[in-house]
C-alpha cells in the first residue's frame, strides 16, 4: 500500500499530487513533463518535497510537518532509472549483487532472477559492452536483488529500439506474473501500462487527473488508438 500526498514547486511546474493505492502493480501515466519522475524521486528520497507525506506499507518515509525524511539508503526501494545507471567499473555479476551486499542480504533469489531476466550469458560482461535492452534488464535485476519493498520503474523502455523494447517488456511481464514484488511504473506509453499495471494514476501538468483500474484505462485508450489510425 502506498500513500503519496506531496506538493513541490519547480521553476516551470508545480507538483501537487495525492493518491493512495493497495495495487501490487501501479502505474503513473502522463505526458512528458507531467511530474511522473519527480513523484518517483520523492518516494525514493532523491527529491525532498516542500510539503506533504509519503507512506509505504504503513511506514512513513517522509512527512514534512513531522520533519521525517528517511535517508535514501534506508527506504528499501528499488529504483530502475531510465538510463540504467549501471556501475561502469563493475561487471554485470557485481552490479547485480551491489544492493544485496549494501543491505547485507543474501541474494537467495539470484539464480531465479538471472533466469527470469535471461542474464546468464551476461554475468562476466562489462556494462560498456551491453546493448540498451541488456543494460536495462541488468538494472532491473540489480534493483530486484536488493529485495526492495517496492520496485520503482522510471520509463524503463524509453530509448530502446523496437525489438529490445518488446523483449524487456516481456521480461517485466514475467516478473509481474512470477514475483510478488510491488511495482510502481512511470510511463507515457499506454501499451506498457496496460501490460504491466493493475491500477493507473493519471498525471497531468503536475496534478492527479484520475485513478482507474487497468481495464478502464485500456478502454480509455481505444478512441485514441482508432483516432490515430485515421
Partner 1 sequence: MNPLTPDEWQALALSLRVAGLSVLASLPFALGLAWLLSRVRFPGRLLVEAVLFLPLTLPPVVTGYALLVLFGRHGALGEWLAGLGIVFAFRWTGAVLAAAVMGFPLLVLSIRVAFDGVDRRLERAAETLGAGAWRRFATIVVPLSVRGIVAGCVLAFARAFGEFGATISFVSNIPGETRTLPIAIYELMNVPGGLPGVQRLTVVALVVAFVATLAAAVLGGTAWGRRRDD
> Interface with partner 1 by CB under 8 A: which residues?
44-46, 71-79, 81, 83, 85, 87-89, 91, 98-99, 102-103, 126, 128, 142-143, 146
Report, in Å, the least distance between residue 154 CB and partner 1. Answer: 11
- Each as own residue / partner, the long-range contacts of residues 211-216 (CB below 8 Å, 24 or more positions apart, any chain) are 211/19, 211/21, 214/27
Of 10 and 87, which has the nearer Cβ to partner 1?
87
- Spatial distance between the Cα atoms of 17 and 207, rounded to a whole number of angstroms: 5
Q: Shortest Cβ distance from residue 127 to partner 1 (Å)?
A: 10
> Which residue number, 44 or 116, has a Cβ lying nearer to partner 1?
44
Residue 87 CB, nearest distance to partner 1 (Å)?
Answer: 6
**Residue number, 57 or 83, with CB nearest to partner 1:** 83
| Shortest Cβ 209–partner 1 spacing (Å) | 28
CB closer to partner 1 out of 71 and 223: 71
C-alpha cell at 3: 500513500
Q: Measured from the CB atom, is 75 or 165 closer to partner 1?
A: 75
For partner 1, the closer CB: 121 or 163:
121
CB of 72 to partner 1, least distance (A): 4
> CB–CB of 109/144 below 8 Å?
yes
Query: Could you tell me the smallest distance in angstroms from the CB atom of residue 104 to partner 1?
Result: 9
Amino acid at each position: 500500500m502506498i500513500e503519496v500526498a506531496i506538493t513541490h514547486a519547480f521553476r516551470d511546474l508545480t507538483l501537487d499530487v495525492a493518491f493512495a493505492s493497495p495495487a501490487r502493480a501501479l502505474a503513473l501515466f502522463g505526458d512528458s513533463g507531467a511530474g511522473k519522475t519527480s513523484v518517483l524521486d520523492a518516494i525514493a528520497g532523491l527529491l525532498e518535497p516542500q510539503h506533504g507525506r509519503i507512506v509505504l506499507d504503513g511506514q512513513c518515509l517522509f512527512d514534512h510537518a513531522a520533519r521525517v525524511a528517511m535517508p535514501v539508503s534506508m527506504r528499501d526501494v528499488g529504483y530502475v532509472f531510465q538510463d540504467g545507471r549501471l556501475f561502469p567499473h563493475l561487471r554485470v555479476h557485481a552490479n547485480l549483487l551491489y544492493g544485496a551486499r549494501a543491505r547485507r542480504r543474501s541474494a537467495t533469489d539470484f539464480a531465479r532472477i538471472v533466469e527470469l531476466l535471461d542474464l546468464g550469458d551476461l554475468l562476466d560482461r562489462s556494462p560498456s559492452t551491453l546493448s540498451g535492452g541488456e543494460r536495462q534488464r541488468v538494472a532491473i535485476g540489480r534493483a530486484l536483488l536488493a529485495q526492495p519493498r517496492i520496485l520503482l520503474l522510471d520509463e524503463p523502455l524509453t530509448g530502446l529500439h523496437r525489438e529490445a523494447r518488446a523483449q524487456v517488456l516481456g521480461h517485466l511481464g514475467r516478473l509481474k506474473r512470477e514475483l510478488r514484488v510491488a511495482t510502481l511504473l512511470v510511463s507515457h506509453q499506454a501499451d506498457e501500462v496496460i501490460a504491466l499495471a493493475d491500477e493507473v494514476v493519471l498525471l497531468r501538468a503536475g496534478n492527479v487527473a484520475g485513478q482507474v483500474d487497468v481495464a478502464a484505462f485500456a478502454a480509455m485508450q481505444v478512441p485514441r488508438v482508432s483516432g490515430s489510425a485515421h
